[in-house]
Structure 1
Amino acid sequence: MILFALFQRLFALVSLAVLGLSGWLIWSWWDRERDFEALGFGDPSNDRLYWGLGLLAFSFLGRFLILLLLGRGGGMASDKRRDGVMVDGADGSRLRLEIEGRTDGPILLLTHGWGMSSRIWADARASLSDRFGIAAWDLPGSGLSTRPTKGWSIEGFADDLKAVIDRLPEDRPIVVVGHSIGGMTTQTFCARHPEILNGRVAGVVLENTTHHNPLRTMILSGLVTALRPLIVLMMRLDILLSPLVWLMNWQSYLSGSTHMAMRIAGFGAWPTRAQLELTSRLPVRTSPAVQAHGNLAMIRWSVTDSLPAIPVPTLVLVGGRDLVTKDHAGEFIAKAIPHAELVRVPEAGHMGPVERNEAYVEAVARFAARVTQPATSAPGGFAAFDAPVGRRI
């Protein structure tokens, strides 16, 4: 999420400023205390000490207060790791793949957004695993997957997705689900590997994603696009200074500044504290260099011209309050793909699959059940799909 990266950097700098101010207040109190003792005067005011200690505590414990202010009560399913295997990626990476749920029938293959990992699907996996097989993997450099050795590109991620599909049982239909960069990867996969569409892959779900450079489909796209050279420079500095940026990100996380950035950029409605905590923690665990490489790859990417050639039934989910990927991007995708259905979730932000999990899960479940029903008259042996008009959830 490039927009989140920009907000994260801004709030991290503010967090560092607060930490620096706390240090200055404590030092200035100590310096005045020393001068007063040398001159034989009475004790100086301790106001600076108290303010300094308070800001210092907030710099490392503030996230607890921020979560109380920005999140509501309520939990989410456990995001603990399941048993998994490592798959050789097409770009030289080793990919973590976890499989659970039903051992027969369709498989939902889940691809997460950038800066996250397969742990982001905790609620979806819990809700869907009794109806489908669930396969979730970590993109290169994310979660437990290693970094690619052949460069960073969405095309490379798409070939990795193909490698993951090749590892799944051949006798079970697959519905590929991609959120954000996962949706970008899925669209690129469809363009690069059409031979397995309407065969092994019976359907595609694209959640809160775009079809070209995400700078052009986010809020204030004109301004952000004009600032592209500065954004590219920031990403390259993140790669060069990755260890220092990582320390800054962790301090920002502890202070709650990362949570504020995620609340603004990621959520449309009022998230639970558990949702806000998970979506704020995962990007901090991911190397800033990895995130920067992926963001640069997104800026260089487009699949717009390939959309009309995608033959597979497609479900496109958009969030009405998504600032990272405005809803017009999903609307364009749904119109360009011949057999596509558009579903709008009005209150959802970019992290719609997390904050409005029930709505997303039910839309995906209905779609997957429909496109994977056996039908000898349909291509690939699965039911024919006539896309209905767009609808709201």
Structure 2
Amino acid sequence: MPLIVLARLALSLISLLVLAAAGYLLWSWHHGYWLTDGLGRALHLREAWRLWTAVALLSWSFLGRLVVTPLLARADTEPTRAERSAGRTLQSPTGSLLYVEEHGPAEAPPVVLTHGWGLDGTIWFYLRRALSRRYRVIVWDLPGLGKSRAESGGAVDLSHFAIDLKAVLALAGDKPAVLVGHSIGGMIIQTLIRDHPKVVRDQVAGIVLVNTTYTNPLRTMIFSPLAQALRWPLLEPVLRLAIWLQPLAWLSAWQSYLSGSAHLANRIGFASQVTRSQLEHTTLLATRNPPGALARGNLAMFRWAADGVLQATTAPALILAGDADIVTKCEASRTLSRAAPGGQLEVITDANHMGFLERAPAYSAEILAFCDLHLRSPTPLNAMTRPVVDA
């Protein structure tokens, strides 16, 4: 999301400056300087402090995360991991190749999980484990991220993602599914409701929007007036440079990851409960995903809005928010809950944008209860009636 993009940019520059300083000190130490002694002999002298300072800065540049992560996060009791199971590739009508995994009983009611931007399907480690005991959990990677491949740069936008989600939802067959989306995942669900209302009416038993927004996220983040003012002179040019200079941007991202500055940037998406594995997992995914794809997705979010879309659906909605979310402020979730007919808002305490990780038991309990209510209810889906006019 844009706030973390700004933080990573600033801290990456600092990390590169530290590396440059180390390089200069090594060069100046090796070059040394010449003096003439009392006998007229030329002496080549080197200052040891330059060498040792350079070694310290280089160590920080490539090993800093080993020190930074324990300082920023608490020890784990249940570590999260970027683990995969057997998956398959699905051809989307957009032309993108979507990586999909399925977990849990094959005949159970389906739940589709859509992750946030910069991540991939492995980020659902806790929720997937909680749901798959009784549900068929379908997890996918957004195009351009993880193991999914976008058909082109133009396929990295919310309208295309909604078509991709429609293709993933088709795997549920004739069983209505609950759609769960975090951050941009929630935005994609809203786009699906806007662009494909018949699909939602016929195939969706409920929606869960997790720490998300209804409009350009620059408008619903902390310091939003400043963020919007910086969009054209700073954010847009930097993101376009990341597309054009992707190899250099990727090298910078990995150096930032190794130094720990990327961990520091991603730490702002958590509140006080974050553990080391959660911070490491999030930072690793944000680093190994292509900078060009990340930039295109952020640019697409700047041009997106779905104000009032939830008014057009009868699907029951659970809106989950973190009271400490600075990436998409809690007020955005309140607006969503007011727009959704019968929408249920739950605000999780001491949870930031990545609250579904740091407060996993609380988020998982809410989502599991919602699925139990709407996927195991004897009331037929079509009984939840209010006519929806297809677009």
TM-score with structure 1 setting the length: 0.92
Of 329, 335, 338, 2:338 maps to 335
**Distance in 1 of aligned mates of 2:357 and 2:157:** 26
Asked if the contact 1:116/1:282 (under 8 Å) is kept, the reply is yes
Asked if the contact 1:90/1:156 (under 8 Å) is kept, the reply is no
Q: Which residue of 2 aligns with 1:296?
A: 299
Of 242, 247, 270, 1:243 maps to 247
Q: Which residue of 1 aligns with 2:382?
A: 380
Asked if the contact 1:67/1:277 (under 8 Å) is kept, the reply is yes
Asked if the contact 2:243/2:295 (under 8 Å) is kept, the reply is yes
SS in 2 for 1:227: helix
**Distance in 2 of aligned mates of 1:118 and 1:175:** 16
- Over 3 Å counting, the alpha-carbon distance change for 1:383 and 1:355 in structure 2 is farther
Q: Which residue of 1 aligns with 2:67?
A: 65
Asked if the contact 1:372/1:383 (under 8 Å) is kept, the reply is no
Q: Which residue of 2 aligns with 1:35?
A: 34
**Distance in 2 of aligned mates of 1:36 and 1:346:** 66
Asked if the contact 2:117/2:184 (under 8 Å) is kept, the reply is yes
The residue type equivalent to 1:30 in the other structure is H
- Over 3 Å counting, the alpha-carbon distance change for 1:334 and 1:325 in structure 2 is same
Q: Which residue of 1 aligns with 2:12?
A: 12
**RMSD value, Cα:** 1.9
**Distance in 1 of aligned mates of 2:160 and 2:373:** 30
Q: Which residue of 2 aligns with 1:22?
A: 22
Report which stretch shifted further, 141-150 or 330-339.
Answer: 141-150
Q: Which residue of 1 aligns with 2:116?
A: 113
* Structure 1 residue 380 displacement after superposition: 2.3
* Structure 1 residue 42 displacement after superposition: 8.2
1:307-326 counterparts in 2 under 5 A?
307-326=310-329
- Over 3 Å counting, the alpha-carbon distance change for 1:199 and 1:105 in structure 2 is farther
Q: Which residue of 2 aligns with 1:390?
A: none
Of 223, 235, 250, 2:226 maps to 223
1:124-273 counterparts in 2 under 5 A?
124-149=127-152, 150-170=154-174, 172-229=175-232, 230-264=234-268, 266-273=269-276
Deviation digits for residues 272-300 of structure 1 (CA, Å, limit 9, x no counterpart):
11001000000111111101110011000
Deviation digits for residues 112-151 of structure 1 (CA, Å, limit 9, x no counterpart):
0001000101111122211211110000101100013353
Aligned-pair identity (%): 41
**Distance in 2 of aligned mates of 1:59 and 1:351:** 26
- Over 3 Å counting, the alpha-carbon distance change for 1:28 and 1:162 in structure 2 is same
Asked if the contact 1:214/1:298 (under 8 Å) is kept, the reply is yes
Report which stretch shifted further, 42-51 or 332-341.
Answer: 42-51
**Distance in 2 of aligned mates of 1:14 and 1:299:** 26
* Structure 1 residue 259 displacement after superposition: 0.1
**Distance in 1 of aligned mates of 2:247 and 2:306:** 33
**Distance in 2 of aligned mates of 1:98 and 1:55:** 42
**Distance in 2 of aligned mates of 1:95 and 1:315:** 26
Asked if the contact 2:96/2:149 (under 8 Å) is kept, the reply is yes
TM-score with structure 2 setting the length: 0.93
Structure 1 residue 76 and structure 2 residue 79: aligned? Answer: yes
**Distance in 2 of aligned mates of 1:319 and 1:95:** 30
SS in 2 for 1:304: coil
**Distance in 1 of aligned mates of 2:130 and 2:318:** 19
Asked if the contact 2:80/2:278 (under 8 Å) is kept, the reply is no
**Distance in 2 of aligned mates of 1:122 and 1:382:** 32
Q: How many residues align?
A: 380
SS in 1 for 2:179: strand
**Distance in 2 of aligned mates of 1:67 and 1:118:** 23
**Distance in 2 of aligned mates of 1:78 and 1:263:** 17
Asked if the contact 2:34/2:45 (under 8 Å) is kept, the reply is no
**Distance in 1 of aligned mates of 2:164 and 2:146:** 15
* Structure 1 residue 193 displacement after superposition: 1.9
Deviation digits for residues 183-223 of structure 1 (CA, Å, limit 9, x no counterpart):
00011111222213354210000000000000000010001
Q: Which runs of 5+ in 2 are unaligned?
A: 387-391
Asked if the contact 1:198/1:311 (under 8 Å) is kept, the reply is yes
SS in 2 for 1:146: coil
Structure 1 residue 364 and structure 2 residue 363: aligned? Answer: no
